[in-house]
Amino acid sequence: MFSEAQIINGDVMQAVDKEGTEQLVYALLNGKEDAFVHLYRRFEARLYTFAYKLTQDKDDAEEVVQEVFLKVWEKRQVLNPEQNFSGFLYTVAKNIVYNKAKQRAYHFAFQKHLAASEQDICRTTENELSFDELSALLDKIYEALPPVRRQVFLMSRIQGLSNNEIAAELHTSTSNIENHLHKALRFIREKLQTHEMVYTTFFAFLLF
């Protein structure tokens, strides 16, 4: 039985909620499609609040929620009921938000790249890259960064968080964040030096 202190602290509700979620995930794993509806109703509001905190936009937050549960549906046959389901949802949501923000930054910067290209009478075919090629180039560079350093860079330059905000979210010091960001920027600059036009007209605004 639960003690009075546990009840007051909310331990009972947390335990019941966790147990109920595990049962629903088990049911979904076993083909009970109505379990998906119950999971959606259980987490939709919490996930929306989380997504809105990241996006600061109601429409974007709603879209993130829909995409997260689409992922859940697609992975319903391989879900792990013993995994922290809410943690899984938040991780998927965060990745979706980062990817959306990154793509928006790419599109904005690509317009700057095109404008600069049109004014450059000396441009060559080698300098002219498509949006997909430019996106693939930066994605490749991002993936080469250590995971934490990549996350810090994306949170800073893509999501627009301050160093203090990043430090608070990652539970570390501001100086540690500054160090990661400095090394990430130096690495990206070095990689982009071989693409001079891209460096000067496409991604410079992301690096400073």
pLDDT of residue 2: 36
Low-confidence ranges of the chain (pLDDT < 50): 1-16, 119-127, 197, 201-202, 208
Which domains does the chain carry? 4-83 (1.10.1740), 93-207 (1.10.10.10)
Question: Could you read off the pLDDT of 114-173 as tens digits, one per residue?
Answer: 555 554 444 444 445 566 776 777 778 888 889 899 888 888 877 778 899 899 988 999
For residues 82 and 22, the answer to whether their CB atoms sit within 8 Å is: yes
Q: How far apart are CA 120 and CA 195, in angstroms?
A: 15
pLDDT of residue 131: 64
Enter the pTM of the model.
Answer: 0.56
Give percent of the chain with pLDDT exceeding 70.
69
pLDDT of residue 48: 94
Q: How far apart are CA 180 and CA 177, in angstroms?
A: 5
